[in-house]
Amino acid sequence: MSRLKELRIYVDKKINKIEDVDKRISATAHLYGVSLAAQMLAKKRGLDPELAAMAGMLHDMYAYKTGSYEDHAHLGADLANTILGKLELTTTEETDIICSAIYHHDDKASVDSPMDELLKDADVLDHCFKDSSKPVKEKEQKRYDALCKELGL
Ligand SMILES: [Fe+2]
Ligand SMILES: [Fe+2]
């Protein structure tokens, strides 16, 4: 079994504990959507698609676990570190790359490392394309425009 699949089984188990059906479906759709977008961007940008996908699967787990988005990126990096330590799927260096991306993913206005930027962009792609009839959020417009240009959309 691939390590991405192993991680997804773990995430699925945790997300399936959310009682509210709509929240459960929305959480699953978002994590898998960001994970897919992250893999595509990684392939485009010459980064590691597997690590990108794993970061996508874990990036909002803290918010789903606690029901709070308060500082969820920073606290989520700690949670991801604990999960990856428990699952033993990644090297220390890989864990650091994933956790750094999660730590920075809510800082959409700043520019960080290539994998950090990739996760921010994958998050924006999922937000904007899960229902493209809705207007793009002001705080995501700049990244959305840059992504459309990069991807020729
Ligand atoms: Fe988030
Ligand atoms: Fe997200």
Query: Considering every ligand atom, which ligand is closest to the CA of 76?
Result: 1
Q: Which of 65, 64, 81 lies closest to 27 in space, CA to CA?
A: 64
Q: Is 116 helix (H, G, I), strand (E, B) or coil?
A: helix
Residues 6+ apart with CB under 8 A from 66: 72
Q: What is the DSSP letter of 135?
A: P
Q: How far apart, in whole angstroms, are the C-alpha atoms of residue 151 and residue 153?
A: 6
Distance 153 CA to ligand 1 centre (A): 24
Bigger pLDDT: 132 vs 8: 8
Tens digit of each residue's pLDDT (9 = 90 or more) over 97-109: 999 999 999 999 9
Global pTM reads 0.97
Q: CB of 77 within 8 A of CB of 83?
A: no
Rounded to an integer, what distance in angstroms lies between the CA atom of residue 35 and that of residue 126? 9
- What's the chain's average pLDDT? 97
Counting ligands in written order, which one lies closest to the CA of residue 130? 2
Q: Which domains does the chain have, with CATH numbers?
A: 3-151 (1.10.3210.10)
Alpha carbon of 2 to ligand 2 centroid (Å): 23
Could you tell me the distance, in angstroms and rounded to a whole number, from the CA of residue 24 to the centre of ligand 1? 16
Question: Residue 42: what pLDDT?
Answer: 98
The confidence band for 145, taking pLDDT boundaries of 50, 70 and 90, is very high
Residue 72 Cα to ligand 2 midpoint, Å, equals 10
Percent with pLDDT over 70 in the chain:
100
Report which residue type is found at 89.
L
Residue for token pair 């509210």: 20
Beta-carbon neighbours within 5 Å of ion ligand 1: 60
Q: Which of 75, 55, 67 has its CA nearest to residue 18?
A: 67
Rounded average pLDDT over 89-100: 98
Identify the H or E element spanning 52. helix 49-58
Distance from C-alpha of 60 to C-alpha of 101, rounded to nearest angstrom: 11
